[in-house]
Structure 1
């Protein structure tokens, strides 16, 4: 009976170990600080306080040792490490006891050994605490890098289900209690072998009496339940993490499979896609930066510093000071408040020099820097050695030499380097290429840089779609330019219509415009489709559904009157891989129609191509359909540019309430593509009925 009572007391004491274990650490450190203070200002009161601190530390050490002794009998800890921890704890208690004896007795050799023994005691408590932490959190807990076992997934289809998706969840949420050093319940969960071996209750992936596996049961129990995992007080799994683990277990708990090997519901597909991360420099920086106020940008523009957001709803900025022969330190200082947001800085053909180069340090997040035809030397290039995000550097026509080689080697992300007409040698470029094999050198003929080109104009309108009329403004970032435009889709030049005032559009129009400045080359063409919408769509049905990666907003995407951008992941595109798209559009009321227009995207580098044709059927009742039109669209020419366009199918006026449209995909990449025959994509954003 006495044994049972002692055992029961022990069980209660072991639960107090997490409380007791921290007390001796704090009290022994406090006692040591008191001793140091007493050396400078000795007094009887300090002597008594010192004795009291050591006494309290000893009591706490004994309580911690006793509670830990009982806790160690649970069998949840690695025996060898537990033994080391116990011995260190015992030595610490002994050292604390000897300190107190010396402090009270004041033996004549007291001063010679007291402080060294105190130092040894502090060392012992540190080692003991470290070993205890290793048992609780794992041997690498203290010194593991911040990212730990964090897995970055850029393409979910290439990720391993267990190693890249499931195991990281176990590592961050479960392994602190179930590792090689602390096997709570006899279970190790941070390895495939440990999971398959199971714990005291058997394999956690096995089902019992027809119920779900132990793993799923533990995760689904109420948090207050004693068998809920992780236990109350620990970081809990998110609903998405529990969903993924349930999916993995339901699909057979495979350890070498990929997502494509397993069945997945729409919900699972959404969760998996959410794991993907865009790791490009611009994406990472955009996620870290705060937005710069519109007023601040306008202020910089008013002071002669062309500053613009890189894209709509994007905190990153582009600054263009090219051809400015009056750049000064005062002007660059104005950018100090937004320098971290600036990722593109164009200083080409300006007076920027080595004297002003120290200001480049403020622009630490530059991704693209243009210094062509400026009086800079290696001194300026040296200022870039800590610009870790720099991917493109244009030093054409500068005095950069081979001395800049070491700096360039440090720019690990550098992808494009323009070095034509510089002092850098071919041998140096070969050495640089060996260090950075992915680097492309912009070594081009002088004629490429002979003509200076202005930026293309920009269009400002409320929407790309209108029912009555639409006002469109055409603007340019540059001063002193003339803008010429066409409304019929033809290529504009300086003989085309000259822009003088906002345009009023009353019908569907493909607007093209160029900017021109005397002595400069004509800008690239800016193009936009503005579409007149006569009939509103009441309902849209898709067949088949788009690819789970690019579902847009569902069927309504085709009738929401919102054009997708050139970024195919902006949420406004329906993506189809190697398959045609078919949809049924229901008008609000029966009407006479004469054309269908399909909005599409082309991005050959991403295997996305325009549709190759379309067929149209109409119906009055949604049951019986009659084919009224079929059209083939022009074949795409070799290109790497990203474009959007509308493709129209015209036919005689036909009464209709329901319109069935089949948009034909090319299905495979064309022969001119770097990967001919590969499964291609088709992206559709709108279908307009007129």
Structure 2
């Protein structure tokens, strides 16, 4: 049995006694100072209360000293708490001695001494709270100015998520706040230092802190993932780095632990996306292709010529120069195809519905590198149109309703392109072929029309009563 730790763990219980007694004595002293002698008739009551507080403080200090041998707390913070606690007891002893030996001293001077002790008690208690709850416990949910600069640039609500470096902007401040107090050049517990990026890959007594690509073999991740009550858990209990940061560390290590790594939407789990939004205000929800690609703006002259040619053409946003283009005429020709070719690098949505677009005209279109949605419905297009559509590397959805496309062309289109959704109502694809294609391409959405459940014919209340 470890008597030192057993007795030391009574420190949180004992430490409240001197605080309570001394604050009670301080209240008595205020009452005496402001003339409430009917309540406090003698300074001896104040001295007695302070003395009991001093004795309780000595007991609390002894138990705290025993608890310090547990190695559960950062050494530098522990030393600050310990030294300030001893100073508080010494000043408290001097104050009691002064009040006993110099009874004729002015009440104001005695009150000033007591006020100093109260301030010291508050400061000592705050440092003790930091040891068990972490330095941000009091201000964690307060205004940003009180929380300090732990989050660095993440405090700026205007930060671009794509510019956030996982290690530099998130993990490094967390390690500095939670780990470096015990793992630095002067106090490298377990042979581990965490002051710099390079330190993460140096062997320590229990293994490498970080093994790039393998969180389970990374001692740092293993220790911070242990239950708080585990003797090997790090940081010390009550000072956890938090579930979100644990998951960020795991993701960063799994992705290679590069110092310049950033979050990528297609590599982050849904859970981590939600955690980053909640705790850091960083949204890495998967974005459609057209929001990620950059295109140069077009001249006003080209846009004007396009619009005069019967097209509606608009940019997707103030800073997104990809185009949503729709032809408004009922018959498209070679001139209109040439106009589209001039702006093909900017088109992402294209609607050429019901304009007598033929296979030959479609083949005359230049490749559209950023095309994501195409509406080619109500045109005399055949299976030959599939060849052009398969050249569009980022095409996600295409509307082929009321065209002449057949099952063979559709199957080839689904198998050799990245199209995820296709509309084929009123085409040459039969219901049986649609069913077969849907089974073969379960990851694709084939939309051939709408079906409704048959609803029984409604009957009046009178008819129902007659049947009964």
TM-score, reference length from structure 1: 0.38
What displacement does 1:37 show? Answer: 0.7
**What residue in structure 1 maps to residue 8 of structure 2?**
14
Residue 249 (structure 1) aligned to one of 249, 253, 270: 253
Alpha-carbon displacement from aligned partner over 1:340-360 (angstroms, at most 9, x marks no partner): xxxxxxxxxxxxxxxxxxxxx
Inter-partner Cα distance in structure 2 for 1:659 and 1:648 = 14
1:35 maps to 2:29? yes
Paired residue for 2:362, among 628, 631, 635? 631
Q: Is the 8 A contact 1:159 1:258 kept in 2?
A: yes
1:664 matched to which residue of 2?
392
1:515 matched residue in structure 2: none
**Alignment partner, residue 376 of structure 2:** 648
CA distance in 2, matches of 1:607, 1:687: 26
Counterpart Cα distance in 2 of 1:140 and 1:221: 21
**Match for residue 302 of structure 2?**
none
Q: Return 5+ residue gaps in structure 2 as ranges.
A: 296-311, 323-345, 353-357, 367-371, 396-418, 426-468
**Within 2, Cα distance between the matches of 1:58 and 1:226?**
34
Decide which structure has greater strand share: 1
CA distance in 1, matches of 2:211, 2:11: 34
Question: What whole-Å deviation, never above 9, does each CA across 1:635-690 have from its counterpart, x for those lacking one?
Answer: 9xxxxxxxx997435544879xx9995473799xxxxxxxxxxxxxxxx9985445
After superposition, the Cα gap between the structure-2 partners of 1:148 and 1:83, relative to the gap in structure 1 and judged at 3 Å, is closer
Tell me if the contact between 2:51 and 2:96 (Cα under 8 Å) persists in the aligned partners: yes
Matched, 1:50 2:54: no
Q: Secondary structure at the match of 2:259?
A: coil
Q: 1:186 to 1:93 in 2, by over 3 A?
A: farther
| Offset of residue 244 of structure 1 | 2.8
Give the match's secondary structure for 1:60: helix
Please give the secondary structure, in 1, of the residue aligned with 2:362: strand
CA distance 1:194–1:132, shift in 2 (3 Å): farther
1:606 aligns with 2:320: yes
Determine which structure has more spread, i.e. the larger CA radius of gyration: 2
- 3-state SS of the aligned residue for 1:249? helix
Residue 613 of structure 1 contacts residue 663 of structure 1 at CA under 8 Å; is this kept in 2? no
Task: Report deviation, 1:220.
Answer: 3.9
Q: Is the 8 A contact 2:202 2:208 kept in 1?
A: yes
Distance in 2 between residues matched to 1:664 and 1:211, nearest whole Å: 42
Q: 1:237 aligns with which of 230, 242, 258?
A: 242
Aligned ranges 1:68-217 → 2 under 5 Å: 68-73=64-69, 85-103=81-99, 107-109=103-105, 111=107, 114-129=110-125, 137=134, 145-146=146-147, 148-150=149-151, 151-152=153-154, 154-170=159-175, 174-175=178-179, 178=182, 189=194, 191-192=196-197, 195=200, 201=206, 203-205=208-210, 212-217=217-222
Alignment of 1:212-611 (within 5 A): 212-222=217-227, 224-229=229-234, 233=238, 237-238=242-243, 241-259=245-263, 266-268=267-269, 271=272, 275=276, 549-551=286-288, 602-603=315-316, 605-608=319-322, 609-611=346-348
Q: Find the counterpart in structure 2 of residue 458 from structure 1.
A: none
Measure the CA separation in 1 of the matches of 2:76 and 2:251: 38
1:67 counterpart = 2:63: yes
Question: What is the deviation of 1:58?
Answer: 0.9
Instruction: Report the aligned-residue RMSD.
Output: 5.6
Relative to the length of structure 2, the TM-score reads 0.52
Q: State the 1:167 CA deviation.
A: 3.1
> What 5-or-longer segments of structure 1 have no aligned partner?
285-546, 553-567, 570-574, 579-598, 616-626, 636-643, 668-683
Deviations 1:6-43, CA, capped at 9 Å, x for gaps? xx432223333344445433432332121111231124
Structure 1 211/664 Cα, relative in aligned 2: closer, same or farther at 3 Å?
closer
Taking the aligned partners of 1:273 and 1:139, their CA distance within structure 2 comes to 23
